[in-house]
Amino acid sequence: MEFTFFLKGIFIGFAMAVPVGPIGIMCIRKTLTEGRLRGLIIGLGAATADFFYGCVAAFGLTIISDTLVSQRIWIRLTGGALLLFLGVRTFRAQPSDPKSRFKIHSSGKLESYLYTVFLTLTNPLTIFAFLAVFAALGLGSGLAYFSASALVAGVFFGSCLWFLLLSSGTILFRNKLDLVGLRWVNRIAGVLIIISGLIVMVSLI
């Protein structure tokens, strides 16, 4: 029975991660400019945030969800500001030589992971998205502890699976890009992330 919930969680996590928003753009850009490992770290951060919101929805943690939703304006304002900052930094970033081997320090890995987790968590309305999907699939509140655990574990695995596929597919194009091409990747990604930040800001008006 729990395995069935796990499979459903994989489907939900994968489906929730597929729409390519700011985090997907970051994953693609980091994979192209810094290698697949960096892209996977971005995906792991996003999957961790999805796991957290999945837990809130599956275990019925109303105190946490009510607090996050009540402060959603400030949380989204912070997220929008971070997206604008990240977009400008991405636009101005200088890519590494595509022929060189990537050296990512442990601190850089942790920074990318934590930054992605925090950025993904700045959209507390994701809780309602999980609640809606759970309800649509007949997975509403009242799940047994082990069933809910299997469900959110599947959500995490499904989200990771999508970003693994995304980074693996993206890396195939990397060898076709030179420094000029990678610089344009940074610029395009930067503009798209800035637009995402502006959309968040405008949505608060």
The answer to whether residues 84 and 122 touch, using CB atoms and an 8 Å cutoff, is: no
Residue 142 — left, alpha, or beta (φ > 0 → left; ψ -120 to 50 → alpha)? left
Q: To which residue do tokens 């007949």 refer? A: 138
Q: Is 2 exposed, middle or buried (0-12, 13-18, 19+ CB in 10 A)?
A: middle
Quick: pLDDT tens for 65-93.
Answer: 666 667 777 777 887 887 788 788 878 87
- Residue 160, pLDDT above cutoff 80: yes
For residue 44, the model assigns a pLDDT of 94
**CB-based contacts of 137: which residues, under 8 Å, 6+ apart?**
8, 12
| Distance of alpha carbon 185 from alpha carbon 170, whole angstroms | 12
Give the CA count within 13 Å in the CB-facing half-sphere of 24: 14
Q: What are phi and psi of 23, to 5 degrees?
A: -70, -40
Domain residue spans in the chain? Answer: 2-203
Q: To which residue do tokens 């753009």 refer? A: 25
Query: Structure pTM?
Result: 0.76
For residue 192, the model assigns a pLDDT of 83
